[in-house]
């Protein structure tokens, strides 16, 4: 009963400070929501049929809605081989308007499906364009920045306010005999928060490099091919006297 009373007193005492933290969080969600609408509104929509008559669907004009087709493994349908009707639309998490953007950012702040949202942002091409794999890896920085400010800073700020009031009330409640126990509990909680933050950082680094590395490899292969081509020409036309190219 004494522990329950302490918890209730802590929550009641921390309400004014929590209000300020929630107000800051609302401002943060609004700022990132507006930025997300500007960056990704209408750019995450896809066509349920990935290719029509062997031609890949790359824009909305190719995706005529309401046409029946037979699903393949690459299409968005219940099962391959079933009949379906073609449609064009955004995924459940999108940034088409501010309300949907705020809901998407809230799910990202809880770290539920944040990797999926990051992949969609990275693959975005343009309005009424079908997303393309690894099209803009730099856009993943938008989700990374929000996770650092939303999942790290804001959530940790909420927890810190509650812990601060808990320690203050515990000292006022003549719990000095349990000071060591309180310190141990605070140390364990701090260690857990640190481990969670480290895990999220490592996960984001892994996702970012897994998306950016293939693009870098393709560019490196392209430049290596150009270098081999110029080396072949250099062997055919070695430099002669006076720096003038002479044919071998």
Contact in structure between 120 and 154 (CB atoms under 8 Å): no
pLDDT at 242: 46
What the block records as the tokens of 146 is 């929000």
State the Cα–Cα distance between residues 96 and 82, nearest whole angstrom. 30
Q: How many CB atoms lie within 10 A of CB 211?
A: 19
Classify domain 2-43+93-216 by CATH number: 1.10.287
Transcribe 95-154 into DSSP letters: -SSHHHHHHHHHHHHTTSSHHHHHHHHHH--STTB---TTS-GGGHHHHHHHHIIIIIII
CA neighbours closer than 13 Å in the CB half-sphere of residue 142: 26
Q: What is the pLDDT of residues 168-190, one digit of tens each?
A: 776 666 544 455 555 655 666 66
Q: What is the pLDDT of residues 26-51, one digit of tens each?
A: 898 999 999 999 999 999 999 998 88
Quote the pTM value: 0.65
Phi, psi of 110, deg, nearest 5: -85, 0
**Domain residue limits, the chain:** 2-43+93-216, 46-89
Handedness of CA 208, 210, 211, 213 (dihedral sign): positive
Residue whose structure tokens are 């800051």:
24
DSSP character at residue 46: E
């Amino acid at each position: 009963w004494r522990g329950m009373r302490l918890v209730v007193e802590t929550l009641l005492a921390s309400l004014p400070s929590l209000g300020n933290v929630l107000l800051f969080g609302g401002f943060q969600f609004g700022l990132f929501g507006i930025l997300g609408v500007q960056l990704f509104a209408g750019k995450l929509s896809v066509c349920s049929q990935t290719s029509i008559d062997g031609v890949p669907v790359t824009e909305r004009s190719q995706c005529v809605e309401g046409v029946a087709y037979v699903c393949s493994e690459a299409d968005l349908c219940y099962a391959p081989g079933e009949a379906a009707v073609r449609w064009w639309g955004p995924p459940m998490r999108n940034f088409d308007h501010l309300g949907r953007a705020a809901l998407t950012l809230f799910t990202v702040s809880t770290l539920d499906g944040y990797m999926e949202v990051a992949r969609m942002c990275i693959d975005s091409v343009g309005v009424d364009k079908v997303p393309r794999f690894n099209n803009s890896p730099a856009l993943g920085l938008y989700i990374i920045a929000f996770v650092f400010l939303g999942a790290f800073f804001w959530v940790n700020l909420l927890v810190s306010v509650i812990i601060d009031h808990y320690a203050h009330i515990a000292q006022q409640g003549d719990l000095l005999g349990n000071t060591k126990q309180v310190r141990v509990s605070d140390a364990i909680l701090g260690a857990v928060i640190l481990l969670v933050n480290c895990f999220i950082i490592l996960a984001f680094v892994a996702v970012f490099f897994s998306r950016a590395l293939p693009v870098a490899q393709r560019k490196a292969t392209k430049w290596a091919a150009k270098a081999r081509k110029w080396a072949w020409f250099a062997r055919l036309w070695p430099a002669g006297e006076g720096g003038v190219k002479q044919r071998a």
